[in-house]
Amino acid sequence: MVSPSPETRFIDFTRHTIPYKTINNQPIVAEILIPKNITPGAHPILAQFHGGGLFTGKALYPDWFPPYLVSFALANSAIIVAPNHRLLPEHSGADILDDLADFWTWLQGPFPALLGSKAAGVTADLDHILVSGESAGGWMALQSVYLLPEGTIKAMHLPYPMTQPLPPSGKTELFGVPLPDAAAVDAWLAGMEPGVVMSGANPPERLLEGMALMQQPGRRLQFLGDGKRFNPYERLDDATWLPRTWVIHGAEDSVVSVDFSVKFEEKAERLFPGKTRLTVKPGNHGFDGELDPEKDEWLKEGLEWVREAWL
């Protein structure tokens, strides 16, 4: 079992940080985790997209990378590839989707040779890709399906995914912490330095400001963008395929309503019968951080359902 301590979350991997694109001479990186006990040969890929509302977060922020997912990767000798991407509000939703497309081009292009240079004899099995993404990372994961040819992704695991942009809800606090007022948000926006590429931040940095910004009328459309392109739930209507997808959600989620996952699963099941599974358990946003498949039988069974399609 992987250590529950965030400080040692990735101790069983060798870590490499590699840019997958550069903007304004500033790199946007992907983190690569190679199991230390890996053997030569082809190994499956776990592509992990981080949460943070598209405002904050970074690829290997350990507090948001549950131990069970790390253990799952190790148990299957998988290579974890976790990209950063540009963040709101310095950048737009269109910019984020451009980064997503460039990440997949890099993964399917230069990445295998780069992997071989870091681990002799180890190759990337791009025919066996699992995608995971929690919260806003679920938004990234679903958008990946709409970018890629059928079968590129074999399975997805989506904890409390942001299946559609979060609407203004009238929230005045987040997890008991008051959100900044409009003046504070305006001051935050005014203090941003033009030309700086923001592609990663350690939560809770920027999280409260970002959530407060989304409560202001019209701001979501201004910064994320308008139209179906930015709404994975609506884009499902035009999808031609969907990999096996397991969604888990806390019934008391105060950030991303469990209703979003219920509606997504209902539509997905109607359009792609048998491809999705939704598990709702007691808990708030991030409830899976303490889960253990050795103790939580439903988690063990669900991961095996995912693994069958992945491998």
Q: Catalytic residue numbers?
A: 135
Residues 81/124, Cβ–Cβ less than 8 Å: no
Tokens of 26: 């500033």
Please answer whether residues 86 and 96 qualify as being in contact, where contact means their C-beta atoms are separated by less than 8 angstroms.
yes
The answer to whether the beta carbons of residues 230 and 165 sit under 8 Å apart is yes
Place of tokens 């938004």: 139
Non-local (6+) Cβ contacts of 72 within 8 A are 46, 78, 293, 303, 307
Residue for token pair 């358990």: 281
Quick count: other Cβ atoms within 10 Å of Cβ 169? 12
Tally Cβ neighbours within 10 Å of residue 79: 24
Contact criterion met (CB below 8 Å) for 207 and 55: yes
